[in-house]
Amino acid sequence: MLKDADGEIIQTGFADSAVKSIDLETGAETEPGGRSPVFVFFARLINLKKGDRVALRLVGPEGVMAESEGEPLERQKAQWVAFAGRKLRGEAWPAGEYVGTAMLIRNEQIFRQETTLFSLRTP
């Protein structure tokens, strides 16, 4: 763990599949398109403490798409990737604004929070 960092959200974004740390480190994640089979919001965090939780919320043009409260961590984590998403149920994702919010919760309080926007122009 980095000595001076105390739980940080270092990256958030949107992808067309579940992501892993290696995907984010190599830039292998791909943003969702209108017909992507999955629409995912992710957050990468560092220097988490035992008991921390990561909560995610993904909202699209038609309302809440996915939410994840996360379980308390059983031990410290140097790096952690969390994601929440939904499978495509129709022909295409609706065009419009998508909002992802990541929250690092420590001692049942929001310790860090980051909101990221994504615009899908055409289905």
- pLDDT tens per residue across span 14-46: 999 988 888 888 887 899 999 999 999 999 999
Q: How confident is the model at residue 112 (pLDDT cuts 50, 70, 90)?
A: very high
- Closest residue by Cα to residue 112 from 65, 58, 45, 66: 45
pLDDT at 2 over 70: no
Q: What is the pLDDT of residue 41?
A: 97
Spatial contact of 53 and 105, defined as CB atoms under 8 Å apart? yes
Instruction: Kindly report the backbone phi and psi dihedral angles of residue 23, in degrees, each rounded to the nearest multiple of 5, phi listed first.
Output: -60, -45
Instruction: Kindly report the number of other CB atoms within 10 A of residue 65's CB atom.
Output: 20
Q: What is the pLDDT of residues 63-77, one digit of tens each?
A: 999 999 999 999 999
Q: What is the pLDDT of residues 50-64, one digit of tens each?
A: 999 999 999 999 999
Q: What is the pLDDT of residue 4?
A: 57
Q: What is the pLDDT of residues 78-111, one digit of tens each?
A: 999 999 999 999 999 999 999 999 999 999 999 9
Q: How confident is the model at residue 123 (pLDDT cuts 50, 70, 90)?
A: low
